[in-house]
Structure 1
Amino acid sequence: MPYGIVGQRLEQVTRRVPVDEPPPLPENAKLKSIGKPVSRLDGIEKVTGRARYTFDVQLPGMLWGQRVLAPLPHARIKSIDTSAAERYPGVRAVHVMERLLSTAKLRDPKAEQGNRYPTVRYAGQPIAGVAADSPRAAEAAARLIKVEYEPLPHVTDLEEAMKENAPRVFPGPTEQPSTAGGGGAPPGLPQKGNVRGPDSKPLGMGPRGDVQRGFAESDVVIDVEYRTQVQTHVPMEPHGLVADWRDEGLTLYASTQYMGSVRDEAAEYFDLPKSKVRVICDYTGGGFGAKYGIGNFGLLAIHLSRKARAPVRMVLDRREEHVSGGNRPNSIQRLKLGAKKDGSLVAIQLKAWGSGGVAGGAGVGFCHSTLYECPNVQMEQYDVFTNAGPCAAFRAPGQVQGIFGLEQSIDELAERIGMDPLALRNKIDVSRTDDAVARAHERRVGAEKFGWSKRRPAGSDKGPIKRGVGFAQSQWLYLVHRNTGCEVRVLGDGSVEAFSGTQDIGTGTRTILAQVVAEELGLRPEDIGAHVGDSRYPPGPASGGSRVTSSLTPAARNAAYRCARDLASRLAPVFQASADDIVFADGKVMVKGKASSAMPFRDAVKKAGFNEIAHRAERRDDYEGYMAVTPEMGISRHGIGGVQFAEVAVDTETGIVKVERVLAVHDCGRPINPKLTESQIYGGVIQGVSYALYEERHLDAGSGHQLNANVDQYKIVGSRETPSIEVILLEQLGAQSSTDARGVAEPANVATAAAVANAFYNATGKRIRTLPMTPANVLAALRA
């Protein structure tokens, strides 16, 4: 199989490949469909409004759901009276929650005073729900539900929660298993008060060496603190679910990143066979890690639908989306690096604290032990519980926060030893993994394209507007969703369809599915009916962790290959040739080497005289296996990465930072569709700029309420703040699967804030160690 970076060096390597898989693909330039910038096949549906999102679902007899939310950040519920709501005109069902999802759970439930109702631990926690004939009736009835609370002491600030005498969010040690969207926290860690940990083995990477000896042997030591903020998800389409409970089963219309977790949670919580739960997700209007499972709102909708015997629509409003829809945890990171004068890293020590509110999983990633060569590494990462809404996976969970600190410290080390930041990384980023090899090439390509050699000393501009450039690296996991399948059908009239029970959250999954199938059958992508969004199709991957393309495309190609071989055997008598000599290309079927035998694909299929050919294939493990496996996922010993260069302008009088230009150079294995891949990277850069400069959740310490739970005061980058973005893609063949495709969503986001921060230093000569880069934080950094 071909291995290496196309355009640089390709070699041939040997892999053990199952005999029924297709032969290796050549580089993209030699292909017809794969690797081409095909426009989204569903683009017209989206821009004309024909695409049906969960928000748009309207079913006959559908009821409107409304939630009752806790107004206090911490309280016991003494009583709930729903009688007035039940009598309100138009009300069909009322339900009071007796269990909660998305929060940490007490290791010993007896540690808390017994109560039939869950303890309130954050303002905005759902308490009950109402289903009525109209939204107005549901809202009016919800206001009639009387809840008597016993207020308890609360704490919303990370550092306050760490104190010995801080109010306890949980009265005892907790656990939080991971979900389909990742997150969670390692089991069995010690907990003292609100502080749980340390986790010293993120991603299973334990400590190594002796950091104290390493620092003693170091010529240079960098010892600094970084702080990052809470960022909420704010997808275009809020969380939503329509539940339709009928005698024949439960149908759920969900805005989700994984239909499998929605089905599985519903089946588990309601004691239903999975065969009785169907999930439909035609389109999802954005999801960055929080849209997994049914959620508390979905739990309510299903209960209400079962009671009312009618469909119930439950969609979060903007305030609830901010408060309970998930967030990226904040962090305090104390990072210490030791190095020799030549730049060789000797020791890395990290202590980090983060709060995911009432949920665990507030770590800062795994980059400190995996990105750079270093013999002595020690990490301690702690969860700190606060009375705030639960965190959720968010586009490279933890890694964005960790890279923000690590990449600034590497730059600071480079300055201390008088070495160019890129040259230092050339020395220490030297592992043999695919992502490290790719980053070395990306640094060279990016530096030349960006004009890195023209970089000036820090703080060179004399006026109040100071410009500078910066650089940072991305690192993420190459993940494979192992339980992934695809079915391809060729019908008797020559039409072709592909089916997978995955979902398209806006990344173009339908289009890449069609491209891969089209390549095997010699057709155009628009000739393929690509079907996703229904749990009755073969199981598809979750849209998270940059794993859809790496998981789905090999299964799709393998299924299409089997269809092609089956079809060739049926066409052999028609063409009076061997099945091995039947070729599919350019929308035609022909005998190899006989152009005169070419026949349009549809005409040839009709002559074969069959009704349907259908073949299904599963995603097999990578040819070289994995570094680690779970029942659902394979984690490669290789990774995906990228580098980003940023140019900023800093107004030192007002504290306003403007990102003017970003160059992103990324690898994702074989780009199946460069146009869609670039779109993913644009989105990652924009989201990263928004995180670096603007986004921050503000909680009122007294009431526990979020003060900016809207899309007005919660500032997100807009068109005026979006920089000029240029993307360069590597085509890197890793000889791991039948398509060699990997994802790109996470690394596109990871390095942005760090690159902007390093550019800030080059502009001003001052380090900014606190995010976001608001005028207040900028002016404080300039005064430091």
Structure 2
Amino acid sequence: MSEVKLKLGIPGKYEERVVTLPEGEPKPYDADSKLSVVGSRHPRLDGFAKVTGQAKYAHDIRLPDMLYAALLSCPHPHARVKSLDTSAAENMPGVKAVVAAADQHVRFAGQYVAAVAAETLEQAERACRAIKVDYEPLPFVVDLEEARQPGAPKVFDNRDSNVRAADPTERGNLAEGFAAADAVVEATYKTQVQTHACMETHGLVAHWEAPDKLKVWSSTQGTFAARDNLARRFELGAENVEVITEYMGGGFGSKLGLRDFESAAVELARKAGRPVHLMVDRKFEHLSTGNRPNSVQVMKAGCTKDGKVTAWQVDSYGTSGIGGGAGVANPSVYDFPAVRKTSADVYTNAGPGCPMRAPGHPQGIFAVESMMDELAYKIGMDPVEFRRKNNSHPIRDAEFELGMKAIGWERRNQTPGAGPGPLHRGIGVASGRWSNVGERRNSRIQVRVAIHPDGGVEVENGAQDLGTGTRTIVGLLAAEELGLPVEALTVKIGHTSYPYGPASGGSSTAPGLAPTVRKAALLARRRLFEVVAPALQAQPEQLECRDGKITVVSDPGKTMDWKRACGLLGTTPINELATRSDNFDGWQAEAAGVQFAEVEVDVETGRVRVLKVVVVQDCGTVLDRLTAESQVIGAVIQGISYALLEDRILDRTTGVMVNPNLEQYKIAGSWDMPEIEAIMYDAAIGYNNAGVNGLGEPPVTPTAAAIANAVYNAAGLRMRELPITPWRVLAADAARRGGRS
């Protein structure tokens, strides 16, 4: 154990902290750290493999004698399967195996009921159509408001109603808070259901190498979670299940668990005695693999005339279909003196929701930041100044200044909607939040670093890269610690045969892996220095490695090339396995972040065009600036799509989704893209030795709110419901002209 002093914080607000390090732990990065590789703008290590088609996704896996699987889905939103006859399908050309779903009580249209494996995908699909199913249709409800009514059809028979309310949360005295308010605003905000729409749909390739040995190539966000799920499902030892995810085409939270239809593909492979390939189609992906729940947030808030919020009340509910988790993060960003919050899940006969990039936060922050804007305008205060008066996060306060300058905040309309003609431009602002600095205690995450006698270096961890750049940041961190160029390392990830890695969810991958990579690389470097030191007539602690050369710090003339140094190992490579240490007592665990949006609103057509988005985002240490900016820009694109376009639409009469494709389910494309300026704000947070916070979630949270607030500044139209479609803009304009707000 040793103590080190760290300089933590942000410019102008640094403070000294003393941290006790366990044996083998690198000194955490702080404000005085001098880094050469970490923090640079390095291209993705797997970029060439992807653009040349060498990267193999689960969809691309082809094995000898492989079969293809197709799924049969129920067309009814609620039904019981009275009988299921697969005999005709089993006798069709090419069919090798058929399985039926264990749950024959169907609760949403699109739910999987049977699966077929055949020589070709076309044969499997034809066989699915030949399966005879006798359904008993049951009463259903897909509308959120209808499902809340006492006499609504029940989604689950064992529940008294479709509403599952959480216990209220309260702090402070709400009555006193509203009594002290000079201004009170009451409003209802609504958000829609958004599907994940991953570029690569759900699926896997399953291969039974022996009756008790299973190998699976999966599009999963958690290789080890998938391994453990498969081991339990098929009663195998975890050591007899290997899961591989070298590349994947996005997940956004929908690929964290093993689905029943994926288990069906593994069962088909076992039953047929041959490998089976299953990748679901786009329609099934929309219907069955998850979504971001919708929300209704009935809100009342009050503030003083000098801009301090005194009371905040919100009653929210939403539907996650047949699942749970429709709660929203509200009031989220701010700490108000008096708050009362109620929330409820409402079951409907629709596909189950599941975690989606910052669960609950885009919905909640849309409402919170819209209300903050409404309060600011009501008391005649600058919306940024109003937020700063209620903000306790030092990083966010600094980020407001950068964002205002970058967007040209002084250009906003002093009077929303003023000006002649149909085209109106305006600027809006919103704040976000997230917190993940990695597992605080007893982590299982491990990283192996091997240094070979020929000078080669391998870094191994079994975590997957779902497109966020995990390979690259692992390579940069190890290169920084070893004093080598990144190209000198080989990064191996995505196999459960490698050391244990975290699932990619909740922005946990980087803060989980990064400290462990540094630790393993440090241990390996120390081992090499022990071998090299006698040859340089020095002690190991007197050595350093920079640019591939090992040098005696006090006598730079004594130096040795990396490859020559590794040659001293003889035939025995260095293998160091490190386990992630517990977190330290750092400075700020929560990532802040602010966004400014500039829009143009055409009040004749209702079209909203986003012209520019400025994002100022912190994540502790920026490990690779290019990768970090890419993450932020991708999040903003998804946020724009959520704000203006995406919306799962269910027919209330039939209970069926009417837009389960990428034609009617609109996703933002290049035509919709504005200029996006990503400003990464460095902060020395000190919670782990890499000083890194999660980045995947935070920048998606405030985008929709910033756009909605910009629409108000542009056209004077307060958009309280997402998505902000042309007809909603026209309806808001018509209501305003009719004298309604």
Q: How high is the TM-score relative to the length of structure 1?
A: 0.91
Aligned to 1:441: 398
Cα distance, 1:371 vs structure 2: 2.2
* Residue of structure 2 aligned with 1:87, choices 78, 84, 91: 91
Aligned to 2:506: 545
Asked if 2 retains the 8 angstrom alpha-carbon contact of 1:698 and 1:708, the reply is yes
Q: Which runs of 4+ in 1 moved over 6 A?
A: none
Please give the alpha-carbon distance, in whole angstroms, between the structure 2 residues aligned to 1:310 and 1:130: 13
Aligned to 1:125: 111
Please give the alpha-carbon distance, in whole angstroms, between the structure 1 residues aligned to 2:158 and 2:338: 34
After TM superposition, the structure 1 stretch with the greater mean CA deviation from structure 2, 21-30 or 400-409, is 21-30
Q: Does 1:587 align with 2:548?
A: yes
* Residue of structure 2 aligned with 1:748, choices 682, 699, 722: 699
Match of 1:305, as an amino acid?
A
Please give the alpha-carbon distance, in whole angstroms, between the structure 2 residues aligned to 1:702 and 1:418: 46
Aligned to 1:214: 177
Please give the alpha-carbon distance, in whole angstroms, between the structure 2 residues aligned to 1:517 and 1:193: 54
Please give the alpha-carbon distance, in whole angstroms, between the structure 1 residues aligned to 2:545 and 2:516: 20
* Residue of structure 2 aligned with 1:503, choices 464, 467, 470: 464
Cα distance, 1:454 vs structure 2: 2.7
Query: How big is each residue's C-alpha offset from its partner over 1:516-550, in whole Å with a ceiling of 9 and x where there is no partner?
Result: 11111110111111111101111111111111111
Asked if 2 retains the 8 angstrom alpha-carbon contact of 1:3 and 1:11, the reply is yes
Q: Does 1:135 align with 2:112?
A: no
Aligned to 2:407: 450
Aligned to 2:738: none
Query: How big is each residue's C-alpha offset from its partner over 1:645-704, in whole Å with a ceiling of 9 and x where there is no partner?
Result: 000000000100000000000000000001000000000111100100001111112222
Query: How big is each residue's C-alpha offset from its partner over 1:747-775, in whole Å with a ceiling of 9 and x where there is no partner?
Result: 11000000000000001112000110111
Please give the alpha-carbon distance, in whole angstroms, between the structure 1 residues aligned to 2:495 and 2:289: 24
Residues 398-437 of structure 1 mapped to structure 2, 5 A cutoff? 398-430=360-392, 436-437=393-394
Match of 1:719, as an amino acid?
S
Aligned to 1:153: 139
Match of 2:114, as an amino acid?
A
Cα distance, 1:715 vs structure 2: 0.9
Asked if 2 retains the 8 angstrom alpha-carbon contact of 1:490 and 1:563, the reply is yes
Asked if 2 retains the 8 angstrom alpha-carbon contact of 1:335 and 1:351, the reply is yes
Please give the alpha-carbon distance, in whole angstroms, between the structure 2 residues aligned to 1:8 and 1:614: 43
Match of 1:268, as an amino acid?
R
Aligned to 1:13, the other structure's residue is in SS state strand
Match of 2:546, as an amino acid?
A
Please give the alpha-carbon distance, in whole angstroms, between the structure 1 residues aligned to 2:29 and 2:368: 38
Aligned to 1:707: 658
Please give the alpha-carbon distance, in whole angstroms, between the structure 2 residues aligned to 1:313 and 1:371: 44
Query: How big is each residue's C-alpha offset from its partner over 1:242-270, in whole Å with a ceiling of 9 and x where there is no partner?
Result: 11123251111100111122112111222
Aligned to 2:589, the other structure's residue is in SS state strand
Unaligned runs of 5+ in 2: 736-741
Residues 39-438 of structure 1 mapped to structure 2, 5 A cutoff? 39-99=43-103, 117=104, 119-173=105-159, 192-200=160-168, 206-247=169-210, 248-365=212-329, 367-368=330-331, 370-430=332-392, 436-438=393-395
Asked if 1 retains the 8 angstrom alpha-carbon contact of 2:29 and 2:686, the reply is no
Match of 1:446, as an amino acid?
G
Query: How big is each residue's C-alpha offset from its partner over 1:344-389, in whole Å with a ceiling of 9 and x where there is no partner?
Result: 2221111111111111111112x41x42231211111111111111
Change in Cα spacing, 1:225 to 1:128, as seen in structure 2 (3 Å) is: same
Match of 1:363, as an amino acid?
G
Aligned to 1:518, the other structure's residue is in SS state helix
After TM superposition, the structure 1 stretch with the greater mean CA deviation from structure 2, 603-612 or 346-355, is 603-612
Asked if 2 retains the 8 angstrom alpha-carbon contact of 1:246 and 1:309, the reply is no
Asked if 2 retains the 8 angstrom alpha-carbon contact of 1:230 and 1:327, the reply is yes
Cα distance, 1:29 vs structure 2: 7.7
Aligned to 1:615: 576
Asked if 1 retains the 8 angstrom alpha-carbon contact of 2:21 and 2:27, the reply is no
Cα distance, 1:444 vs structure 2: 1.0
Aligned to 2:617: 666
Cα distance, 1:2 vs structure 2: 3.5
Q: Does 1:725 align with 2:687?
A: no
**Quick one: percent identity of the two aligned structures?**
45
Query: How big is each residue's C-alpha offset from its partner over 1:34-93, in whole Å with a ceiling of 9 and x where there is no partner?
Result: 111110111000001110000101111111111111011101111111111111121111
After TM superposition, the structure 1 stretch with the greater mean CA deviation from structure 2, 517-526 or 456-465, is 456-465
Aligned to 1:105: none
Asked if 2 retains the 8 angstrom alpha-carbon contact of 1:461 and 1:763, the reply is no
Aligned to 1:30, the other structure's residue is in SS state coil
Aligned to 1:517: 478
Match of 2:127, as an amino acid?
A
Match of 1:198, as an amino acid?
A
Aligned to 1:104: none
Cα distance, 1:455 vs structure 2: 1.9
After TM superposition, the structure 1 stretch with the greater mean CA deviation from structure 2, 558-567 or 23-32, is 23-32
Q: Does 1:494 align with 2:455?
A: yes
Q: How high is the TM-score relative to the length of structure 2?
A: 0.96
Cα distance, 1:479 vs structure 2: 4.3
Query: How big is each residue's C-alpha offset from its partner over 1:389-441, in whole Å with a ceiling of 9 and x where there is no partner?
Result: 111111111110000010010111111122111111211111xxxxx111000
Please give the alpha-carbon distance, in whole angstroms, between the structure 2 residues aligned to 1:420 and 1:373: 20
Asked if 2 retains the 8 angstrom alpha-carbon contact of 1:227 and 1:769, the reply is yes
Please give the alpha-carbon distance, in whole angstroms, between the structure 1 residues aligned to 2:184 and 2:112: 48
Cα distance, 1:216 vs structure 2: 2.8
Aligned to 2:177, the other structure's residue is in SS state helix
Please give the alpha-carbon distance, in whole angstroms, between the structure 2 residues aligned to 1:2 and 1:730: 19
Asked if 2 retains the 8 angstrom alpha-carbon contact of 1:264 and 1:274, the reply is yes
* Residue of structure 2 aligned with 1:641, choices 589, 592, 602: 592
Cα distance, 1:8 vs structure 2: 4.0
Query: What is the aligned-residue RMSD (CA, Å)?
Result: 1.5
Asked if 1 retains the 8 angstrom alpha-carbon contact of 2:322 and 2:347, the reply is yes
Aligned to 2:504, the other structure's residue is in SS state coil
Number of residue pairs aligned between Structure 1 and Structure 2: 726
Please give the alpha-carbon distance, in whole angstroms, between the structure 2 residues aligned to 1:453 and 1:761: 16
* Residue of structure 1 aligned with 2:422, choices 464, 471, 480: 464
Asked if 2 retains the 8 angstrom alpha-carbon contact of 1:29 and 1:35, the reply is no
Please give the alpha-carbon distance, in whole angstroms, between the structure 2 residues aligned to 1:2 and 1:123: 56
Query: How big is each residue's C-alpha offset from its partner over 1:173-214, in whole Å with a ceiling of 9 and x where there is no partner?
Result: 3xxxxxxxxxxxxxxxxxx411111343xxxxx421232332
Please give the alpha-carbon distance, in whole angstroms, between the structure 2 residues aligned to 1:286 and 1:716: 15
Asked if 2 retains the 8 angstrom alpha-carbon contact of 1:484 and 1:552, the reply is yes
